[in-house]
A and B are shown apart, each in its own frame.
Chain A
Amino acid sequence: MIGFATRRLIQALIVMLVVALLAFTMFRFVGDPINQMVGIETSIEEREALRERLGLNDPIPVQFLRFVSKAAQFDFGTSYQFRQPVSELFAKRIPATLELSFTSALFALAVGIPMGIYAGLNRESIISKMFLSVSLVGISLPTFFIGILLIFLFSVTLQWLPSFGRGETVQVGSWWTTGFLTVSGLKALILPSVTLGLYQMTLIMRLIRAEMLEVIRTDYIKFARARGLPNRLVNFRHALKNTLVPVITITGLQLGAIIAFATITETVFNWPGMGLLFLQAVQNVDIPIMSAYLLLTAFLFVAINFIVDILYFYIDPRLRVGRP
């Protein structure tokens, strides 16, 4: 177990380093940050001086080393747009994104899993075919389009739910702000998390269904039936639990995807999370924010993968308990 964990950790570190290199080299080529930092009236000499001050004229390897050593200390530099440390900007945005991602993941799982189980167990029923078709519509419409339509329907036309932002937030602890504790915060969560979670819900539903279909054809399920176990036991204790093993991997991956896809949802709903920050940074060529975002998502992703690997240990005894 410890050996396994260390090996995964080392791999994760290598991945992070490669991401850091990619993030750095890629962003070194994007646009010209100087143009963003100054107004258009600034003279060329001043631009050059600024370039020198920012170290943008240093050799690339020097810039990279500086970048990595600082990033390791959570120092991602100062945002060109906001003239604030990027780490502080993110500290304020992370709760928003994580709350949104968490809610949509919850929504996706809470709705997707039962639907998937049903469709897997009743392959030929009309309802499961309907689930499948409706879910296909879910993945066929781009997220942004769904978001726009939801806003149009629920905010502008019906005026039931807010169209943007997090509503009122409450400070919890030193830096976490939450929208879970106010009515307006909860209302503001509904549309974005549905928009964001819809695609993942569809995926999870289809995955569970497919896995279910495979698992119920295995020998041990046949054997369980041959032992006369009631359907409830066979379906839920045996089939579902075995289905969950691959589902956990995909869910882990999807959680990473949710955080990345939050970029679009946050744009549509003006959700003050890190995706919105990132997209604005891309538009404004704010290099420090972009690299920090990439490193952060990569970190979250690697961390989630790591947790999934560890989870495997607890779910699948074949990994946990050695052979005799």
Chain B
Amino acid sequence: MPYVSNEEVNAAVQDRATEQPTAGRASRILDSDIFHSFLRSKITVVAAVATLILFLLSFLAPWVAPHNPFDLATISILDARVPPIWQENSDPRFILGTDDQGRDLLSGIFYGMRISLIIGFCSVFAAAILGISLGLVAGYMGGRVDSFIMRVADVQLTFPAILIALLIDGIAAGIFGGVDREFFAFYILIVSLALSFWVQYARTVRGSTMVEKNKEYVQAARVIGIPAVIIMVRHILPNVMGPVMVIATINLALAIVTEATLSFLGVGMPPTQPSLGTLIAIGNDFLYSGEWWIAIFPGLALALLVLNVNLLGDWLRDALNPKLR
């Protein structure tokens, strides 16, 4: 409805703005409203830079970390529980000290963050694929398919992430016996996280799809004769990705926290392949004995990582919400 008072103004602003010559894709992005709102929020810029640094440190861990905490041949139990360098009895090799196995905590945090992030990304990705596909199908097809998928989602919602992970861990343990936990823990975590997160995507995508499918561009595509699958993927999907991006960002943070919690409960990554959560869980045992750094530094790293990702997600949600612009 073009005659609503304030939108009229906005439309006019836009119409006149488009008269300016637009050059190149990059400059268009730099010129976009989203990028502008990004720059306007200083805290978001800081969060983005911090996130980028943390991501780089994690993914470049093998190159930037002073030690390799997974190379058992280089760690020595005799270096266990060395405090950070500004404390007494410290060792200049270990800036943030070492954990109970003599692993350098700083390197451990880099590697741990890498594991946390990989698990986060993989599970978010898997959940998104599953949720988006089911959401698209449910929203587009409607009827029985829709109610079936949504009933499944209801059942799924009955089990919060923690329960699902405990369940899946249990099933996996049952099926694979005691097979190499180092190997399986990783996949178990991803599957459990993905299975607990997909509902959100499915519900959101379904909702948006139901809106989008009634829009005339979809009807136009149908009138042309384009098959449903292509309509879903080519036409609807790109238009529902906005909220999906928001959910994905926030989910990444949630996945990292949930993974940490699972590790704390003992069903996450094993101490030989520690994620941030595992590091905290290990350190928790040393909190009262004065070796606080084993828990606190990974805890801070986790909080920092999640906080920054959440900040980005927060901003993205507001920036992409058309109702708030």
Contacts and interface: CB of A to CB of B under 8 A. Distances in A.
B170 interface: yes
A11 B148 CA distance: 11
Interface residues of B, number: 42
Contacts of A133: 43, 311
Contacts of A257: 160
In the complex, which range does the number of interface residues on chain A fall in?
Answer: 35 or more
B154 A145 contact: no
A42 B167 CA distance: 28
B60 interface: no
Contacts of B170: 26-27, 29-31, 282, 290
A27 B154 CA distance: 20
Given A15-B155, A141-B303, A282 B166 contact: yes
Contact of B174 (A18, A30, A129): A30
Contacts of A55: none
Contacts of B280: 142, 145
Interface stretch (B30-38, B135-143, B225-233, B259-267): B259-267
Contact of B303 (A18, A140, A156): A140
B284 A148 contact: yes
A251 to B, nearest CB: 14
Contact of A136 (B174, B261, B311): B311
Interface in A290-319: 290, 294, 297-298, 301-302, 305
A103 B195 CA distance: 30
Contacts of B284: 144, 148
Contacts of B157: 253, 256, 301
Contact of B324 (A129, A141, A142, A213): A213
A31 B173 contact: yes
A139 B310 contact: yes
A152 B290 CA distance: 12
Interface string B277-314: 10010001001100000010001001100110011001
Interface string A128-144: 01001100110111111
A305 B321 CA distance: 27
A279 B323 CA distance: 43
Contacts of A298: 158-159
Given A26-B167, A214-B324, A264-B162, A136 B310 contact: yes
B174 A29 contact: yes
Interface in B209-261: 253, 257, 260-261
B174 to A, nearest CB: 4
From B151, B167, B175, B314, residue with most partner A Cβ within 10 Å: B167
A261 interface: yes
Contacts of A14: 151
A210 B158 CA distance: 25
B158 A261 contact: no
Interface in A278-292: 279, 282-283, 290
B258 to A, nearest CB: 8
B155 A19 contact: yes
**What does DSSP make chain A's interface, helix, strand, loop or mixed?**
helix
B287 A148 contact: yes
A27 B163 CA distance: 12
A145 B321 CA distance: 32
A178 interface: no
Given A141-B303, A214-B324, A279 B265 contact: yes
B325 to A, nearest CB: 10
B155 A18 contact: yes
A253 B264 CA distance: 24
A156 B314 CA distance: 36
B303 A297 contact: no
Contact of B162 (A26, A139, A145, A261): A261
Nearest to B306: A140
B41 to A, nearest CB: 10
A267 interface: yes
Contacts of B175: 29
A260 to B, nearest CB: 4
Given A267-B265, A279-B265, A294-B163, 11 more contacts: A26-B167, A30-B174, A133-B43, A136-B314, A140-B306, A140-B310, A141-B302, A264-B261, A264-B264, A279-B166, A301-B157
7 contacts: A19-B158, A29-B170, A136-B311, A140-B306, A140-B310, A302-B158, A305-B154
Ranked nearest first, the 3 interchain pairs of A and B with the lowest CB-CB distance are: A29-B174, A260-B160, A30-B170
Interface of A: 11, 14-15, 18-19, 22, 26-27, 29-31, 129, 132-133, 136-137, 139-145, 148, 152, 156, 210, 213-214, 217, 253, 256-257, 260-261, 263-264, 267, 279, 282-283, 290, 294, 297-298, 301-302, 305
